[in-house]
DNA sequence: CTGAAAGCGCTAACAC
DNA sequence: GTGTTAGCGCTTTCAG
């Protein structure tokens, strides 16, 4: 038989299918004997509940939707691993959608997941996302949401992030301590909250130490390697070029580093470079990249745990969880001879 | 209203819901006028079909299941990107499950997807998988399957892979051409087909050039960095250590390279190192890693296209597609001074 | 304790 | 053209 159903079992045992249904989901009102028979037969026939029918009936899918910009990025793929890990243990299904850093696609992903009646939503917004009507919609539908890292800054949704301000402050301060005095910042996409926070942290550290900060020292743009290289090129061609850069993430930092290699710029001697995130490459590249580590896997885990709590309690109380970053010092900023 | 249905529209327009259903799915037997009215109202009310009900009714989910060992591995995440890319364009939904390189979990993933009635299945098996009763089951249920890279070698299923034998042969030959004469092989998990094919290709190249191949020169084990380092350590402590290693993948090669750095072994002068796959790190690490590039994204794409063909034609004719690898020469094997 | 019946939202014969 | 009906597989009243 293609797929055996509750009815097949009922027929075989000469019972009504409601009794079978009860037995199968452990309802107390069913005779021990018949229950035993039913379970035995189900086992033997390899019966499995049809989750589609179940979802339709219960109006819940037992699924958590995930919208993420790209999966080929280790930061996000580690977040997804964390999500899967926790969801799997809890018997929840996760539906992953990729926005490809496009807001149009993000909207389409969201519609898809909503249409699908996911029980909850985990998301990191695309670089293009600066208005949030699509997420408003989800909010209106009472779907619990937890944003991860790339958050929607709205009081009614939960967030899991790191303290970007503090992280940026700390690493900038590290550059200063290493003796760099003309520090520039390769920033991310201008409208993103993460970009702004890291910029603020950077700026605060620079100001706290009375260092110069010409407007040209801040280069907005993107998260890619190419952008990092391009931005550094601009910085180096300034009349008074920086002696260090803090990059919004490791990818731009990597791009900057590669640019230095082609241009024979000595890192860390002539130029100090620091990143953010701590991707696997960062310790392999040479010189090793100084960076602020973000606990990506853990971010995925805790976001999912929060979601599971909401789902279990059937109430959604927005909360904000801020995880620790960690300064990882490698060679790309080791200017001073110790 | 929480979720508007076909009935709501029917009631509002004083029609039977079957008419509405017909209009909504473009059935010809419906008056142009009423059709227009229905579509207009649906549009206005922001009606969306409930995919759960649809799937239950049609006994197909419009979903493709994917089982993959891990997502944090760039090779697999690029495959997934390729899959998502094609599936998305075709309006197919993809359900990603991670086996975490565990066969137990792989079995559970498969059961989950089957229970979920996915229309087709894409898979790369775990390192632990050497028997395939779970996939037999899927085959028995007539679910079309395409294996990617880590394949089940069964005549009745489709496969998308690269020519591992030839790739291994080519890169080993490259090592020989660079003047290395005592070449070892850090192999993968012993039972995996990929491992065997690459080993065979390696061995064939060595034999073709009449080079020595002591049994100790082949170290089976895993795909991880740690294993690469460990295996190289053993090789280097041999009475007659190799002057080059071909590693089953870039991760083991990276581990081997790192081991060389800590042990002050000069690469490529004292030891040549070659990998397989071409991960993003491979060009960033120093020295750059010589490797055989596998078109991961494309593998995901073509596997999905095959699947879409089966689904559209409603018939599954197993086929095998072999994609080209490409030798990427970097510094880790540039021994000879040119 | 067990069975009958309604219904989740939709499609697809079958009537009219 | 349109409405009626049955049914996908299951849960959940409501009777008995």
Residue A293's DSSP bridge partners are: A277, A326
Work out the percent of chain A whose per-residue pLDDT is above 90. 93
Q: A72-94 in b/e burial notation, b at 16+ Cβ within 10 A?
A: bbbbbbbbbbbbbebbbeeebbb
Residue B292's DSSP bridge partners are: B327
Query: Are A49 and B115 in contact (CB < 8 Å)?
Result: yes
- Looking at beta carbons, which pairs linking A188-191 to residues 24 or more positions away fall under 8 Å? A188/A127, A188/A220, A188/A221, A188/A222, A188/A223, A188/A248, A188/A249, A188/A252, A189/A127, A189/A128, A189/A220, A189/A221, A189/A222, A189/A223, A190/A220, A190/A221, A191/A130
Dist CA A181 CA A95 (whole Å) = 47
Dist CA A124 CA A29 (whole Å) = 46
Residue A304 has a CB neighbour count (10 Å cut-off) of: 29
Confidence of residue B335 (pLDDT cuts 50, 70, 90): confident
What's the confidence (pLDDT) of residue A29?
87
Dist CA B172 CA B4 (whole Å) = 63
Contact A286, B281 (CB under 8 A): no
Dist CA B284 CA A299 (whole Å) = 27
Confidence of residue A337 (pLDDT cuts 50, 70, 90): low
Query: Are B51 and A254 in contact (CB < 8 Å)?
Result: no
Dist CA B299 CA B147 (whole Å) = 10
- Alpha-carbon Rg for chain B, nearest whole angstrom, is 26
DSSP state of B270: T
Q: Using the structure, give the distance in angstroms from the CA atom of B9 to the C1' atom of D13, rounded to a whole number.
A: 27
Side-chain-facing half-sphere of A113: CA atoms under 13 Å: 35
Confidence of residue A224 (pLDDT cuts 50, 70, 90): very high
Best A75, A280, A288 member to test B by mutation, with max B CBs in 10 Å, is: A280
For A290-310, what is the mean pLDDT?
Answer: 98
Q: Distance from CA of residue B264 to its chain's centroid?
A: 36
Restricting to A residues 39-68, those with a Cβ less than 8 Å away from any Cβ of B are 48-53, 55-56, 61
What's the confidence (pLDDT) of residue B114?
94
What's the confidence (pLDDT) of residue B2?
73
Query: Are A56 and B51 in contact (CB < 8 Å)?
Result: no
Query: Residues A256-272: pLDDT tens digits?
Result: 999 999 999 999 999 99
Q: Please state the pTM of the whole predicted model.
A: 0.94
Domains of chain A: 6-49 (1.10.260.40), 60-162+295-324 (3.40.50.2300), 164-293+327-333 (3.40.50.2300)
Q: Answer with the residue of higher pLDDT: A2 or A79.
A: A79
B61 touches strand C (CB under 7 A): no
Report the SS3 class of residue A290: strand
Q: Using the structure, give the distance in angstroms from the CA atom of B63 to the C1' atom of C3, rounded to a whole number.
A: 37
Query: Are A281 and B281 in contact (CB < 8 Å)?
Result: yes
What's the confidence (pLDDT) of residue A314?
87
Query: Residues B266-299: pLDDT tens digits?
Result: 999 999 999 999 999 999 999 999 999 999 999 9
Confidence of residue B338 (pLDDT cuts 50, 70, 90): very low
Flag whether pLDDT at A338 surpasses 60. no
Flag whether pLDDT at A203 surpasses 70. yes
For B95-114, what is the mean pLDDT?
Answer: 96
Helix, strand, coil % in chain A, rounded to nearest 5: 45, 15, 40
Q: For B84, name the nearest residue in chain A, comparing CA atoms only.
A: A98
If phi over 0 gives left and psi between -120 and 50 gives alpha, with beta otherwise, what is residue B134?
alpha
Q: Mean pLDDT over all residues of chain B?
A: 95
What's the confidence (pLDDT) of residue B150?
97
Query: Residues A136-195: pLDDT tens digits?
Result: 999 998 899 999 999 999 999 999 999 999 999 999 999 999 999 999 999 999 999 999
Best A62, A66, A71 member to test B by mutation, with max B CBs in 10 Å, is: A71
Dist CA B223 CA A254 (whole Å) = 25
What's the confidence (pLDDT) of residue A3?
87
Residue corresponding to tokens 């990276």: B254
Query: Residues B72-87: pLDDT tens digits?
Result: 999 999 999 999 999 9
A46 touches strand D (CB under 7 A): no
Confidence of residue A2 (pLDDT cuts 50, 70, 90): confident
φ/ψ of A304, rounded to 5, equals -70, -40
Residue B159's DSSP bridge partners are: B147, B320
B174 to A53, B231, B245, B265, B293: CA distances (angstroms): 57, 22, 12, 21, 14
Dist CA B212 CA B203 (whole Å) = 10
Side-chain-facing half-sphere of A331: CA atoms under 13 Å: 11
């Amino acid at each position: 038989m293609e797929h055996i159903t509750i009815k097949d079992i009922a027929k075989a045992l000469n019972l009504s299918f409601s009794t079978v249904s009860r037995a199968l989901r452990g309802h107390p009102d069913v005779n021990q004997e018949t229950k035993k028979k039913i379970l035995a037969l189900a086992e033997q026939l390899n019966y499995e509940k049809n989750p589609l029918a179940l979802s339709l009936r219960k109006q819940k899918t037992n699924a958590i939707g995930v919208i993420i910009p790209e999966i080929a990025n280790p930061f996000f793929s580690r977040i997804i691993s964390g999500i899967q890990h926790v969801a799997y243990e809890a018997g929840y299904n996760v539906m992953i959608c990729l926005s490809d850093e496009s807001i149009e696609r993000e909207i389409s992903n969201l519609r898809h997941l909503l249409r699908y009646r996911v029980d909850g939503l985990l998301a990191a917004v695309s670089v293009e996302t600066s208005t949030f009507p699509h997420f408003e919609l989800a909010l209106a539908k009472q779907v619990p949401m937890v944003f991860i890292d790339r958050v929607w800054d709205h009081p009614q949704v939960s967030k899991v992030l790191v303290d970007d301000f503090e992280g940026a402050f700390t690493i900038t301060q590290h550059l200063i301590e290493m003796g760099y005095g003309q520090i520039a910042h390769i920033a991310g996409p201008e409208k993103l909250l993460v970009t702004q926070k890291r910029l603020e942290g950077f700026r605060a550290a620079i100001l706290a130490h009375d260092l110069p900060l010409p407007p040209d020292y801040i280069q907005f743009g993107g998260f890619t390697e190419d952008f990092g290289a391009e931005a550094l090129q601009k910085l180096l061609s300034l009349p008074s070029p920086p002696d260090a850069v803090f990059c919004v993430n490791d990818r731009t930092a990597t791009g900057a580093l590669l640019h230095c290699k082609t241009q024979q710029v000595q890192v860390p001697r002539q130029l100090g470079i620091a990143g953010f995130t701590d991707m696997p490459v960062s310790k392999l590249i040479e010189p090793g990249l100084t960076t602020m580590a973000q606990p990506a896997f853990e971010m995925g885990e805790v976001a999912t745990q929060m979601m599971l709590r909401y789902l279990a309690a059937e109430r959604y109380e927005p909360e904000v969880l801020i995880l620790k970053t960690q300064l990882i010092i490698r060679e790309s900023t080791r200017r001073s001879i110790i």
